[in-house]
Every structure is written in C-alpha cells, then in structure tokens.
C-alpha cells in the first residue's frame, strides 16, 4: 500500500508550488476580486428576463417554477463571477438561441426553408455540430502532444462544441412549444437530451480545470469519454429517431425535474472527468517504465469501460458495436504504447491527484443533492420516497462508491495508484447506473429504456 499513497503534506506542498508558479507567470485566474459593475449589470439583465417571462407567461409556470427561474438568475450570476468565460458562454448561447427563435417567427416549418436554421441553429443541427466539434477536438488534443497548435485548436473546438450544444438545447426547449403548447418542456427528459447534457457538463468542467491549471494535456483523455458518449448519441439519433420531441409522461410533468436531472448530471460529468484524470495519472506514473506488467490492469479496466455499450441488446448492429469495441481497445493500447511521450506532457502527479479529488468532491455533492431531490420527487409522483427501483438502487451504489472514496481520501490520506484505479472503476459503476440499468433492467424509470 505504501507505493499507492503519498503523504498529504508533501502533495500539498508540491501543489502549492505548482499554483504559485502559475500565478507568478502572470496568470491570475486563481484570484477572484469583488463583483464589479458588469456582474451587477448581468444580474439585472437576467432578472429583467425572468420578470418578463413570469409576466408574459403567468399560466405556464407554477409558484415553484417561478421561484426556480428567479433563483437561477442569481446562480448564473454567481457562476459568471466565479469563472468569467462561463458568463461569456451564457451570453453567446442566449444571443444565438434568440436569433434562432427570431428566425422561426413562431413557425416550426421555417427550419426546412431558412438556411441558418436548417444547417446551424435548429436544435438537431446545433447538436450535430456539437458532436462533430467534439470529435475534432479529441483529435486535435492528441495532436497537441507533438504540436502546440493542435492543443490550442482542441481547446477552441471544445469551446465551440459547448456553445453549439447549449444553443441546441435552448432552441429545442422552444421547438417543443412550437409543436404544441403542452409539448414544450426543459430538454432533460429522455436519454437523447441527457446524453447531450452529459457531454456538455463534462466538457465544461474540463475547460474550467484546463484554465485553472494552465494545461491542455488532459484534453485528449477527457474528450475520449465525451466522444464515446457522442458515438452512442449519434447511433441513438439515427437508429432510434431519438431526436424527435415527444410529450412528457405524467411522472415527468413536475418542477422537480428542473432541479433533479441537472444536479444528477453535474455528478455524472464530474465522475467521468475524475476517471479520465485517473487514467492520465496512471499513464504519467508508468511513463518511464518499459515493462508492460503495470499496464495489464489498466488495459483490463479500459476494456471493461468500453464494453458496456458493446454488450447491449442491439442484434441488428452488432457488427458496428464490435468494431467500436475493438477500436476503443486499440486506442487504449496506443495510449499505453506512447505513454513515455504522453507522460512528459502531463502535469505533475500531485496536480492530477488534486483535479481527481476536486472532481469527485463536486460530483459527490451534487449527486447527493440530486438523490435527495429524487426522493422528494418520487414521494410527490408515486407516494413514497424510496422503492428500491433498479435506478434508485444503482444510484445508491454509485453514492456509496464515491462516499467510500472520499472517506478514505480524507480520513486515511488515500492517494496515488489505488485512488486512480478506484476512480476508473467508479466510471464503470456510474455508466451502468446511467445507461446499463436502462438497457437490462426495468422499473419506474423505464421512460429511458432502449
């Protein structure tokens, strides 16, 4: 166990030195000043928009939904103060979505006749652009290990993908209302929509850490899990026609959905990020060794991670998923073969360990809140807080997994190899709770089954 745990004080000292070097180099992103005039103006604009929506559509929202809308204006302002790029993203997405709504002019048929809507700004077009941009970003980030231009392009393309995805979700929200007044709903109600949300949240959290730690070397690792989700999203879109907007069932017609689902996927996104950082940690740790023995467990875990999509019940496309499985294993093997070059570009182990810890901490906090909110929602919809439904059971398993990880980290100083492997295995568990339950099990959450 001694080779898998480092002292907390030593790791903390090296991490402080890393952040000190960042600040002294002229990058002050780790420092936050007091809210300025732009923050106040941003809040006032958001509040004005919320008040307009409440006055203009008083019967479309109940008391709780109006409270959520007003509360989100303060939350968005706070996020924009914590991280300025997030505010720029919100403004850009709002402007692009506003342009799309103006082009629609209340007629959904305009999506087929208007050039910008058809190829850029309709929800399906924007989300397809998101998928393409994330794929290109993944390639560029890996090129970045031999070219600084590739890393810069990877970062820019990831930002563009996040912009396209959030714009697509905002426009999709309005498209539902254009189909029929009772069809419109927040776009987090089915597998198609939450897969988009998962990709965006994971990418956004990565971009935050990329800026905070002044490194783009992790982009290739994190974008791999996003690209895997994109592959499933594209298959789900074209094979199952999943992008079609459908009415909500009675259980989902609740204001609880607007809180529970986003909080849940902040947890999922953070857990996915921590797993890929754990992968990078192991590559960094074994970068100097020529022996393959330390790599065998990592290759096995990588195979378990990519096999979950391959094994689901899709007999008509088994050839496609078999190729997906083989290509995924080949990518993992190629990363291990090139670990010496890759390791030299990665941040210090202490930084990777810190990112992994922060990601799991944030994910655990939001996942805990989401689980509690889900229990309240279940009581409101089904009359009981907990029924050991398969989705609920696996959510509890995910919660226990990361609770144990954090307990050992905080109480026993767990770091290093063991923590990184645990984070990777945690993604396998989380993936089954997210997708596997919908594939193999049924229950009260069957609205998301394949």
Contact between residue 266 and residue 201 where contact means Cβ atoms under 8 Å apart: yes
Name which of 132-136, 365-369, 413-417 the model is least confident about: 413-417
Tens of pLDDT, residue by residue over 91-115, are: 999 999 999 999 999 899 999 999 9
Q: Please tell me the predicted confidence (pLDDT) of residue 382.
A: 80
CA angle in degrees (0–180, nearest 5) for 431-197-70? 130
Q: Please tell me the predicted confidence (pLDDT) of residue 331.
A: 86
Across the range 145-149, mean pLDDT stands at 87
Q: Which three-class secondary structure string do you get for the chain? A: CHHHCCCHHHHHHHHHHHHHHHHHCCCCCCCCCCCCHHHHHHHHHHHHHHHHHHHHCCCCCCHHHHHHHHHHHHHHHHHHHHCHHHHHHHHHHHHHHHHHHHHHCCCCCHHHHCHHHHHHHCHHHHHHHHHHHHHHHHHHHHHCCCCHHHHHHHHHHHHHHHHHHHHHHHHHHHHHHHHCCCCCCCCCCCHHHHHHHHHHHHHHHHHHHHHHCCCCCCHHHHHHHHHHHHHHHHHHHHHHCCCCCCCCCHHHCCCCHHHHHHHHHHHHHHHHHHHHHHHHHHHHHCCCCCCCCCHHHHHHHHHHHHHHHHCCCCHHHHHHHHHHHHHHHHHHHHHHHCHHHHHHHCCCHHHHHHHHHHHHHHHHHHHHHHHHHHHHHHHHHHCCCCCCCHHHHHHHHHHHHHHHHHHHHHHHCCCCHHHHHHHHHHHHHHHHHHHHHHHHCCCCCHHHCC
Domain ranges of the chain: 37-82, 94-248, 252-321+350-450
Q: Tokens representing 153? A: 């392009």
Which residues neighbour 113 within 8 Å (Cβ) at sequence distance 6 or greater? none
Q: Please tell me the predicted confidence (pLDDT) of residue 216.
A: 93
Mean pLDDT of the chain: 85
Q: Please tell me the predicted confidence (pLDDT) of residue 3.
A: 43
Across the range 158-166, mean pLDDT stands at 98
Distance CA 351, CA 14 (A): 8
Distance CA 276, CA 225 (A): 8
Helix orientation angle between 349-382 and 417-431, rounded to the nearest 10 degrees: 30
Distance CA 220, CA 434 (A): 23
CA angle in degrees (0–180, nearest 5) for 127-246-239? 55
Across the range 423-440, mean pLDDT stands at 84
Tens of pLDDT, residue by residue over 337-354, are: 888 999 999 999 999 999
Tens of pLDDT, residue by residue over 308-323, are: 555 555 566 677 777 7
Q: Give the pLDDT band (50/70/90) at residue 426.
A: very high
Q: What percent of the chain has pLDDT over 70?
A: 84
The CA-to-CA distance between both ends of the chain, in Å, stands at 42
Q: Please tell me the predicted confidence (pLDDT) of residue 1.
A: 40
pTM of the model: 0.90
Q: Please tell me the predicted confidence (pLDDT) of residue 290.
A: 63
Rg of the chain on CA atoms, in Å: 22
Maximum Cα–Cα distance across the chain: 67
Reported for 294-302, long-range contacts at CB under 8 A and 24+ positions apart, including other chains, are 295/336, 295/339, 297/421, 298/332, 298/336, 298/421, 298/424, 299/329, 299/332, 299/333, 299/336, 301/421, 301/424, 301/425, 301/428, 302/328, 302/329, 302/332
Q: Please tell me the predicted confidence (pLDDT) of residue 240.
A: 81
Across the range 197-216, mean pLDDT stands at 95
Q: Please tell me the predicted confidence (pLDDT) of residue 444.
A: 58
Across the range 257-268, mean pLDDT stands at 94
């Amino acid at each position: 166990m001694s080779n898998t745990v480092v002292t907390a004080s030593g790791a903390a000292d090296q991490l402080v030195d890393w952040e000190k070097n960042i600040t002294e180099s002229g990058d002050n992103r780790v420092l936050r000043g007091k809210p300025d005039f732009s923050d106040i103006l941003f809040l006032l604009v958001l509040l004005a928009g919320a008040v307009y929506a409440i006055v203009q559509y008083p019967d479309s929202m109940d008391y709780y939904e109006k409270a959520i809308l007003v509360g989100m204006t303060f939350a968005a302002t706070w996020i924009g103060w914590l991280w300025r790029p997030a505010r720029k993203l919100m403004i850009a997405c709002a402007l692009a979505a506003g342009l799309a709504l103006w082009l629609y002019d209340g007629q959904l048929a305009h999506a087929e006749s208007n050039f910008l809507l058809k190829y850029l700004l309709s929800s399906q077009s924007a989300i397809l652009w998101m998928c393409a941009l994330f794929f290109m970003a993944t390639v560029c980030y890996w090129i970045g290990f031999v070219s600084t231009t590739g890393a810069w392009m990877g970062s820019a393309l990831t930002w563009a993908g996040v912009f396209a995805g959030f714009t697509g979700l905002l426009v999709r929200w309005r498209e539902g209302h254009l189909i029929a007044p009772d069809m419109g709903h927040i776009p987090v109600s089915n597998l198609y929509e939450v897969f988009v949300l998962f990709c965006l949240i994971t990418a956004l959290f990565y971009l935050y850490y990329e800026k905070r730690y002044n490194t783009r070397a992790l982009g290739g690792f994190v974008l791999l899990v996003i690209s895997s989700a994109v592959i499933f999203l594209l298959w789900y879109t074209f094979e199952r026609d999943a992008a079609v907007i459908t009415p909500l069932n009675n259980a989902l017609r609740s204001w609880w959905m607007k809180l529970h689902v986003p909080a849940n996927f902040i947890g999922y996104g953070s857990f996915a990020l921590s797993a890929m950082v754990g992968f990078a940690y192991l590559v960094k740790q074994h970068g100097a060794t020529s022996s393959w023995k330390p790599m065998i467990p990592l290759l096995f875990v990588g195979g378990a991670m990519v096999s979950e999509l391959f094994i689901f019940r899709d007999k008509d496309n088994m050839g496609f998923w078999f190729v997906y499985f083989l290509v995924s294993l080949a990518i993992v093997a190629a990363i291990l073969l090139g670990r010496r070059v890759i390791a030299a570009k990665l941040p210090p182990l202490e930084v990777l360990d810190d990112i992994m810890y922060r990601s799991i901490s944030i994910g655990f906090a939001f996942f805990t809140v989401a689980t509690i909110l889900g229990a309240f929602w279940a009581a409101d919809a089904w009359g009981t807080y907990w029924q050991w439904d398969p989705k609920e059971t696996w959510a509890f398993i995910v919660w226990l997994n990361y609770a144990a990880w954090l307990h050992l980290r905080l109480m026993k100083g767990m770091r290093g190899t063991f923590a990184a492997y645990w984070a990777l295995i945690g993604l396998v568990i989380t993936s089954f709770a997210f997708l596997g339950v919908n594939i193999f099990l049924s229950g009260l959450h069957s609205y998301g089954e394949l």
